[in-house]
Structure 1
Amino acid sequence: MSGEPPVVRRLHEVPAYLISPDDTVRLAELAGPKQGSSTSVFLEIWEPGGAQPLNSHPDSAEIFIVLSGQAQAHSDDDAVELSAGDVLVLQPGSEHRIVNTSETDKLFTITVMANDGGFAKLVTDGTPTALTPAEISALIS
């Protein structure tokens, strides 16, 4: 027994962050080191046409569960199309990025990383933003 109580977070109370002020992807840390977890879990929201910069995580696979929207994922020399219901697994060390291919709709994913190498801290050191009521209701309606 750990002796630690369970952690419950309310989505409407969880802040989202922009890693850089001009980013078009916001991340909300749902679970991670601050909550006592060695695995980090994020809600990621891409603006229409948005993309994150090319990035890599040498010690962690990154798993994306596409909740809604359409995207193209690039990993090293490969590109794949994604839509709601897809699960994407990117291997440790791959250079990757995801592009929201819609010009009108946001892309929503749940992203899971074990051994995130400080990624959760990078996210929460970014610029805080709020999840909108429409974004929250898109997830829990």
Structure 2
Amino acid sequence: MALAPVVKSLADITPHYIGENRSVRLAVLSGPADGSGTTVVLEIWEPGGSQPDNSHEASTETFVVLRGTARAHSDQHVADLGPGDVIVLPATSVHHIVNTSESERLYTITVMENDGGFADLILTGPEAFLDAADAAVLGAVLTPA
């Protein structure tokens, strides 16, 4: 018998912070818990927010910018990004992304090939929130709890 597809509503997804960083919220949209070795994440950077330098030994990481502006640092390379841009960060690169806006959030869909524990890292972090502005970026509506 064929497996049924996994269908989720944005209202059922809880974003998290990683570690002490409270400038980026990450919401796992799909990953190992859904039967996939690839993890897909909605990432939301507050104005001026950034990730710390990070690296993934065996995982290519792809970011699709939905809204906002960013500067991506990968090893010695720097790239400015805006809506519709896609950046592919190679495995083992030391990288981070900075929201270059002082007033607007940055939204990306991030695809982590070969999860390598990324979804677990996110899901064990402190819970965060999604608000109506976040939902609107995906064309969704959050209903109050």
What TM-score results when the alignment is normalised by the length of structure 1?
Answer: 0.95
Which residue in the other structure is 1:31 paired with? 30
Tell me the distance in 2 between the aligned counterparts of 1:75 and 1:21. Answer: 22
Q: Which residue of structure 1 aligns with residue 84 of structure 2?
A: 85
Amino acid in the other structure paired with 1:5? A
- Runs of 4 or more, structure 1, over 4 Å off, are none
Task: State the 1:67 CA deviation.
Answer: 0.2
Rounded Cα–Cα distance in structure 2 between residues aligned with 1:87 and 1:135: 20
The question of whether the paired residues in 1 share the 8 Å contact of 2:73 and 2:79 is answered with yes
Instruction: Report if aligned partners of 2:21, 2:51 keep a CA contact under 8 Å in 1.
Output: no
Q: Does 1:8 align with 2:15?
A: no
Q: 1:88 Cα shift?
A: 0.3
Equivalent residue of 1:112, what SS?
strand
2-structure distance, mates of 1:80, 1:132: 29
* Corresponding letter in the other structure for 1:24: S
Partner amino acid, structure 1, of 2:75: D
Alignment check: 8 A CA contact 1:32 1:40 kept: yes
How much does 1:5 deviate? 1.3
Give 1:40-119 correspondences, 5 Å limit. 40-119=39-118
> Using the alignment, how far apart are the partners of 2:76 and 2:33 within structure 1?
35
Superposed, 1:111-130 pairs within 5 Å as 111-130=110-129
Unaligned runs of 5+ in 1: none
Structure 2: runs of 5+ lacking an equivalent: 141-145
SS in 2 for 1:52: coil
Q: Which moved more, 1:88-97 or 1:10-19?
A: 10-19
Q: Deviations over 1:19-39 (max 9, x none)?
A: 124431010000000111111
Give the root-mean-square deviation of aligned CA atoms: 1.1
Deviations 1:100-121 (A, max 9, x none): 0000000000000111210110
* Secondary structure of the structure 1 residue equivalent to 2:101: coil
The 8 Å contact of residues 23 and 52 in structure 1, kept in 2 or not, is answered as no
For the pair 1:138 / 2:137, whether they are aligned, the reply is yes
The Cα shift of 1:138 comes to 2.2
SS in 1 for 2:44: strand
Give the Å deviation of 1:4: 2.0
Contact 2:31 2:115 survives alignment (8 Å): no
Supply the distance in 2 between the matched residues of 1:10 and 1:51 (Cα, whole angstroms): 27
